[in-house]
């Protein structure tokens, strides 16, 4: 995972040669791999220091066959674990499951607006909220369609690429612009490149130290 992330960061040096959508696709993989690595590291630390086994936070989201599958069962599972009891269930009890889903996605969108504000120091644009509201509405539509057993459903071999394409295209349209427009992505790239360079230098220093000690002993 770390090696893949390092490869992506190394590709950023060629970003001026890339198509805009190719660069945004790299961003999408970067977000996934970075979150996976950070959360896996936190789980390893909790296991080593506290003896606790934390549940995996991702379950191969690239195999998602629907938006409900992607957001509810595969992507960053700590978020639905929090929002389900705090938002979805109370709203569902009062207004029904569709309203519960829409409210959950709306809250997620507002949280992302706040995150983007801290990253960019720019006023919220509403695009992140629109992204999650759109996905919430589509998830409700998926559930409505699934209730009709006689209606056609695409096979998983088709549904999975369609789902991932929808997530990527809507992310290009609504999720990434609040970050890329003020240039915050460039700062993140610079920080990642510096981190990779530091790790490489530290690894080279450690290897050199071990080699010198070994050579001295021999």
pLDDT in tens, 69-124: 999 999 999 899 999 999 999 999 999 999 999 999 999 999 999 999 998 989 99
User: What's the pLDDT at 94?
Assistant: 96
12/23 Cα distance (integer angstroms): 8
Burial 1-27 (b: 16+ CB within 10 A, else e): eeeebbebbeebeeeeeeeeeebbebb
Mean pLDDT score, 172-197: 81
User: What's the pLDDT at 196?
Assistant: 60
- Output the furthest CA–CA distance in the chain (Å, rounded): 76
169/138 Cα distance (integer angstroms): 14
User: What's the pLDDT at 218?
Assistant: 47
Q: What is the pTM of this model?
A: 0.84
Please check the confidence at residue 44 and state whether its pLDDT lies above 60: yes
Please check the confidence at residue 217 and state whether its pLDDT lies above 60: no
Q: CB count, 10 Å around CB of 73?
A: 13
pLDDT in tens, 7-20: 888 888 888 888 88
Structure tokens at 206: 């450690």
Give the position of tokens 């961003």.
27
Q: State the Cα angle at 66 between 156 and 86, rounded to 5°.
A: 150
pLDDT in tens, 127-171: 999 999 999 999 999 999 999 888 888 999 999 999 999 999 999
């Amino acid at each position: 995972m770390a090696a893949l992330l390092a490869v992506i960061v190394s590709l950023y040096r060629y970003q001026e040669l890339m198509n805009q959508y190719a660069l945004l696709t790299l961003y999408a993989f970067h977000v996934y791999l970075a979150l996976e690595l950070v959360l896996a590291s936190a789980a390893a630390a909790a296991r080593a220091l506290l003896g606790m086994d934390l549940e995996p936070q991702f379950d191969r989201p690239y195999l998602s066959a629907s938006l409900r599958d992607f957001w509810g069962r595969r992507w960053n599972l700590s978020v639905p674990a929090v929002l389900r009891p705090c938002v979805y269930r109370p709203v569902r009890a009062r207004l029904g499951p569709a309203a519960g889903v829409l409210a959950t996605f709306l809250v997620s969108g507002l949280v992302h607006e706040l995150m983007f504000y801290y990253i960019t120091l720019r006023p919220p644009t509403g695009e992140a909220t629109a992204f999650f509201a759109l996905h919430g509405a589509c998830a409700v539509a998926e559930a409505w369609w699934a209730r009709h057993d006689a209606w056609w459903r695409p096979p998983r071999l088709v549904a999975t690429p369609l789902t991932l394409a929808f997530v990527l295209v809507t992310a290009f349209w609504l999720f990434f612009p609040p970050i890329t427009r003020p240039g915050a992505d460039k700062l993140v790239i610079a920080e990642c490149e510096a981190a990779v360079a530091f790790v490489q230098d530290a690894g080279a220093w450690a290897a050199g130290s071990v080699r010198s000690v070994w050579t001295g002993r021999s």
